[in-house]
């Protein structure tokens, strides 16, 4: 049993690039997609691990993850974050969840 204080969960904004796999639910003809994700975790590496695991369970093929930090970190960098995004972040925290906020499919020209 550890006496270390439990670190609080935070919500991280992640951009995940996914490739194609069977049953991934992406539009026909697309070569992959970019997913804007809000994921809870005690730190960004944990949020990334949870996100990748959940996407794999959903038959997606994560290729790359870029982290954009917490809400406070993004605000410090001058990001304009609308209430709709803040609400999704609050939901991710409340539900200890990974929420895909936006999906942009890629197509070859």
Would you state the pLDDT for residue 24? Answer: 92
**pLDDT digit string, tens, across residues 37-62:** 999 999 999 999 999 999 999 999 99
Q: Is the C-alpha dihedral spanning 27, 100, 65, 104 positive or negative? A: positive
**pLDDT digit string, tens, across residues 71-91:** 999 999 999 999 999 999 999
Distance CA 11, CA 91 (A): 9
pTM greater than 0.95: no
CB atoms within 10 A of CB 82: 7
Per DSSP, 79 falls in state: -
């Amino acid at each position: 049993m550890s006496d270390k204080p439990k670190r609080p969960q935070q919500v991280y904004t992640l951009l995940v690039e996914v490739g194609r796999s069977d049953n991934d639910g992406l539009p026909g003809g697309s070569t992959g997609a970019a997913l804007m994700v809000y994921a809870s975790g005690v730190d960004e590496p944990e949020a990334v691990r949870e996100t990748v695991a959940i996407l794999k369970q959903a038959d997606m093929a994560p290729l790359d993850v870029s982290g954009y930090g917490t809400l406070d970190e993004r605000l410090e960098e001058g990001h304009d974050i609308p209430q709709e995004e803040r609400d999704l972040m609050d939901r991710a925290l409340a539900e200890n969840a990974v929420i895909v906020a936006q999906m942009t499919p890629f197509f070859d020209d």
